[in-house]
Amino acid sequence: MTRDYPRDENPPVTVRHRPFALDLTRPLGTARGKIRSREGFVIAVERETGVTGVGEATPLPGWTESRDACATALDELDGRAEAEPPLESLNAEATPAARHGVSLALADAAARDAGERLADRLADGAGVESAPADAVPINATVGDAGPDETAAEARRAVEAGFDCLKLKVGARDVDADVERVRAVREAVGDAVALNNP
């Protein structure tokens, strides 16, 4: 775990944010409805040294705070010199996405100020060797739909190059989810990993 910044050493001078919105290629079906886009905020924290760190807060209502609650929390920090560390102003339970974004921006600024990459600094703090990856493995998320549509979506993901699929389950009864998983397995074969963390 890294600290936001050493006490009394280069605390942030200003915190700013701007909104962004990204439409999904296809709506993602979840237990709480369809997600058609993701909205969030890019956060910049400037330190007295002139170094700026960048973070991101992308709330997901139902799992974290609402976009409006995140915006309000960030608005309260925006553009002002901090009398207290910004994270102490943010309630982790009420606005976890806002707090995460500011924490990330603070950590990025501290790393930049030290002339380090944030990834190296985090690896060092965890006691592991930092080795940049040539590629980052990701999964394709397959939303909540009937067996045939779910299998077709899984096939499209595998054809696009994914070898791991995250299936959304839990919104339907167990038998329906079992049928969906069975249809996906038959459609993509055993070489493709299926998960639902």
The predicted structure's pLDDT at residue 6? 42
H helices of the chain, in order, are 67-77, 86-89, 96-113, 118-126, 147-159, 174-188
pLDDT tier at 136, thresholds 50, 70, 90: confident
The predicted structure's pLDDT at residue 102? 94
Which is it for strands 164-167 and 193-195: parallel, antiparallel or unpaired? parallel
- How does pLDDT run across 72-96, given as a tens digit for each residue? 999 988 766 556 678 878 888 999 9
The predicted structure's pLDDT at residue 11? 67
Q: Is the pLDDT of residue 1 over 90?
A: no
| Average pLDDT value for residue range 173-186 | 94
The predicted structure's pLDDT at residue 16? 92
CB crowding 149-170: b at 16 or more within 10 Å, else e: ebbbbbeebbeeebeebbbbbe
pTM of the model: 0.72
* Rg, C-alpha atoms of the chain: 21
Q: Is the pLDDT of residue 169 over 60?
A: yes
pLDDT tier at 22, thresholds 50, 70, 90: very high
The predicted structure's pLDDT at residue 143? 83
| Cβ neighbours, 10 Å, residue 188 | 21
Among all chains, which residue has been given the structure tokens 């590629």?
A: 135
How far is Cα of residue 28 from the mean position of the Cα atoms in its chain?
16
The predicted structure's pLDDT at residue 41? 98
